Structure 1
Amino acid sequence: MQNTEAIHWDRFDRLFYQYECTHSFDGAALPFPGSRNVLANREGSHLLSILLDGPVVICCHFFVPEQLELDILPKEVAGSLQHEQVLSFVENLAETLELPVDITPENCEKSPFLTYVSHAKSWHIPGDPQ
């Protein structure tokens, strides 16, 4: 998500408490101090792992404050159950942050496969006239 502001990070912090999560700093497991504290501490590498039921792990690396970027390993989405869990998480994320969420290939934030629009509560394929 582009143009992420402090309020969105605060909402993100509230959202992930609905899921099982782990946090590490430079590889060491630590309690999560909150997104704003993580973004203020650039002295090392942060990783927040959000565990969905099944083998799917959604990772947040906190690269830049202006962009909330999450990643998953496609091979973890091995069936319809995992697919539904990922889509449900994306819907929950978009509605909590009140922002559209794009699903993109890695490093291609300008080329989404699919977008969930929170205010419309609907999925869109970019470029599809519908």
Structure 2
Amino acid sequence: MQLIDWQDCRGAFYVDGSLRDIYIQDTTAADWDVFLDAISSKIITTFVDGEPHPLPKQASEIFERNGDTSFLLEVTLGQLKMNCHFFTEEEIELDIDPSEVTSQAELDAIIEVLSLLGSALGRDVILTDENMPTSIWIVFDAIKADVHFVAD
């Protein structure tokens, strides 16, 4: 897998009060179950309405009650945290605070997660500006099993 140099892409993590999003699009309930299984290999904490809660075995348990409760999955990668709010079954989305991405170590952790999820799901995974899935910074290409920076 090709490594991305922090100096080449540090501009993707400019701090302006917005987040960066990681998307896996056109997902199904089965994809969410693969996501939960894959991400459970990381340090995660899950919350329901702000209170710690065990990770459900299936994503359907989360989506069945998501209208009534708030479910958050937090992935801890050193000083960096990624959050998944389970907005919709059709799209897996995690967000990152760019102020937490300050070196090659955090970039490598992000790339590791993109690669983990893309490989587990056999899908492309993109890192974008907040709420802008067409403003792509980094891509895990599932066909090539490779990650690359999309220079502007």
Settle same-fold status: TM greater than 0.5: yes
Q: Structure 2-normalised TM-score? A: 0.78
**CA deviation vs aligned residue, 1:45-84 (integer Å, no higher than 9, x gap):** 11000111x1111110000110100111111112111111
Post-superposition offset of 1:125: 5.0
What SS does the aligned partner of 1:113 have? Answer: strand
Q: Mind listing any 5+ residue stretches in structure 1 that lack a counterpart?
A: none
Post-superposition offset of 1:114: 2.1
Q: Structure 1-normalised TM-score? A: 0.90
- Does structure 2 retain, via aligned residues, the 8 Å contact 1:10–1:35? yes
Q: Give distance in 2, aligned partners of 1:59 and 1:91.
A: 17
1:13 equivalent in structure 2: 36
Post-superposition offset of 1:123: 2.6
Q: Give the total of aligned pairs.
A: 127
User: Which aligned pairs between 1:19-38 and structure 2 lie closer than 5 A?
Assistant: 19-33=42-56, 34-38=58-62
User: Which aligned pairs between 1:17-96 and structure 2 lie closer than 5 A?
Assistant: 17-33=40-56, 34-41=58-65, 42-52=67-77, 54-96=78-120
Q: Give distance in 1, aligned partners of 2:98 and 2:151.
A: 23
Work out which structure has the larger RCO, using CA pairs closer than 8 Å and 6 or more positions apart in sequence.
2
Q: Mind listing any 5+ residue stretches in structure 2 that lack a counterpart?
A: 1-23
Q: Give distance in 2, aligned partners of 1:4 and 1:83.
A: 25
* Identity across the alignment (%): 29
Query: If each structure's strand is expressed as a fraction of its own residues, which one has the higher value?
Result: 2
What SS does the aligned partner of 1:104 have? Answer: strand
Q: Give distance in 2, aligned partners of 1:5 and 1:97.
A: 11
